[in-house]
A = this chain, B = another copy of it.
Amino acid sequence: MSPPHVHAKTLRDAGVQVTGQRLAVYDEVVRRPHSDADTIAAGVRDAIGSVSTQAVYDGLRALTAAGLLRRIEPPGSPARFETRVGDNHHHLVCRTCGALADVDCALGETPCLEPTDPAGYSIDEAEVIYWGQCPTCQEATSDRGES
């Protein structure tokens, strides 16, 4: 339950208009990274009473556009948001429960950014998703004696 005001300057400096809803949205992502819009909306309601779904979507869009948030969109699950922007890191996704974890890039600043033959494309970002199973689900699976 940190006071949302602490983020006011951050938002203003990024050129985003400061409103109660947006502070709450940002604070929610800070507190619980990798949540989807719905979870964030619930958290915000918990914090400031009520918000419309659109305010949340709009806030997330504005904050993402301003470079304060990063939007991750793993196939098979709704978009998620995190505050780690600017550094080049990637994600681990659990095939079983959908959990998401950060991984630092193995190859420095811009990994794999140079494919063998870019086919004429000008590349500005490489996004890596590692698919596997999180520790919890590995245990659960082996407990049930599955392959």
Interfacial residues, chain A to chain B (CB-CB below 8 A): 71, 73, 75-76, 79, 90, 92, 94-95, 101-107, 111-135, 138
Contacts and interface: CB of A to CB of B under 8 A. Distances in A.
A115 B132 contact: no
B123 A115 contact: no
A124 to B, nearest CB: 5
16 contacts: A71-B75, A73-B75, A90-B115, A92-B123, A95-B124, A103-B117, A103-B119, A106-B112, A112-B128, A118-B132, A121-B132, A121-B133, A121-B134, A122-B138, A124-B131, A125-B130
Oligomer copy total: 2
A127 B129 CA distance: 5
Contacts of A118: 92, 103, 130, 132
A28 B90 CA distance: 34
A133 B121 CA distance: 5
